[in-house]
Structure 1
Amino acid sequence: MNCCTVTKQPCPPAVGNNRHRLPTRRDLNKRHPPSSYVTEVNALGAARSEWQRIQRGLAEFELTLGRADISPETPVTAQGYKPEINATPWIIDEVTHNFTARGYTCSIRMERR
């Protein structure tokens, strides 16, 4: 019986008080491609797409700013950092807007595009 609706896997062993282990982001990123494709072009396209997906999450970069106009999925170009960071195309993955007694801040997490 499949009880994990996200991963479609059998229930993991119970951990204390009969609780189940929830899937992590790493568990959800596992992908099992089909064993065959109709054409070589389809297979190469799927492999290229999967490679780009894997590469996207390899590098992360975090900043805290004071800008309210930033939103997820926005492409970013870094400047003033190491050459490796400046040369990498980034995309905003997560934005957290904070308003406290000390003022407004915006924390962004970017990953390699």
Structure 2
Amino acid sequence: MVGPAIPRPQLPYERRKPPTLSTEARKANAEKATQKEAVLHDDVGQLLASVNKRIKELSEKHSKKEEYFRMRLYLTSKAEKQTRKESTYNAFLHHVAEKENTSM
């Protein structure tokens, strides 16, 4: 006679552990990572310095504040996202809103 139709519990698969690195190898890998990150930070710093230099040149040329150019440059700024498209309907809404706000 056969027992109940219950699946037999299976033991978890024993995974092979990767070989451990020596302390010297770990230190060498950490040193490589820190050097790579330092080079990355230097490059980003140079990029930001050139962008800031160009922003300063533009602000002097056009007699505007540097913040104006930063807001125009960064595409995620609120000033760029919150503007409406220029259309007759939006112009009408603007006119009605101004009329309502002045009557209060």
TM-score, normalised via structure 1 length: 0.25
Question: Which has the higher relative contact order, 1 or 2, with Cα contacts under 8 A spaced 6 or more apart?
Answer: 1
TM-score, normalised via structure 2 length: 0.26
More strand by share: 1
